[in-house]
Amino acid sequence: MTRSERQSAAGFTLIELMVVVAVVAILAAIAIPSYQEQVRKSRRGQAQADLVELAQRAERFHTVNNSYVGFWATVPAAHKRSPRDGGTAFYNIEMSNATASTFTLTATPIAGTAQADDRCGGMRLNQAGRKSHGGGAALDSECRFGTTPPSP
């Protein structure tokens, strides 16, 4: 059989395939954690928005009733979790310290969800608009939401 009669082999060598696999693995090792952190930040932002919305509803309740007492009983169960629009909930939202003139709303990551290991932890918002998080002062730039009025 002459050389011209032989078919030349076509395809990739094992080395070429291993290089491609290595490049894909390196890209995945960088991209996946970054993507997961962005998803956590998005969920945190949704919980922050839900806290602000509930605080606004509490203010409307206070305008009519001159008290925050009884407001939490009017909130539907679906609004006590975030996100509330279906799917998996990642935060439980609770109201505490409800009196005639004060309240505190708290969003706590739900154990067993991907949000449970969020570095910012839970978030709080009170009737005066004071916002705080459970991540500590070192994470203020990452975890703080909105502007916080100065302490009285």
Label residue 137 by pLDDT band (50, 70, 90).
Answer: confident
Q: Is the pLDDT of residue 74 over 60?
A: yes
Instruction: Tell me the per-residue pLDDT of 92-114, one tens digit each, with 9 for 90 and over.
Output: 999 999 999 999 999 999 999 98
Label residue 145 by pLDDT band (50, 70, 90).
Answer: confident
Domain boundaries, the chain: 14-143
Please tell me the predicted confidence (pLDDT) of residue 146. Answer: 64
Which one has a higher pLDDT value, 121 or 62? 62
Label residue 119 by pLDDT band (50, 70, 90).
Answer: confident
Burial of 81 (0-12, 13-18, 19+ CB in 10 A): middle
Measure the CA–CA gap between 82 and 42, rounded to whole angstroms. Answer: 12
Please tell me the predicted confidence (pLDDT) of residue 149. Answer: 55
Q: The domain 14-143 belongs to what CATH superfamily?
A: Glycoprotein, Type 4 Pilin (3.30.700.10)
- Does the predicted TM-score (pTM) go above 0.85? no
Rounded to the nearest integer, the mean pLDDT of the chain is 88
Full DSSP string of 90-106: -EEEEEES--SS--EEE
Please tell me the predicted confidence (pLDDT) of residue 75. Answer: 95
Q: Is the pLDDT of residue 133 over 80?
A: yes
Helices (H) and strands (E) in the chain, counts: 2, 5
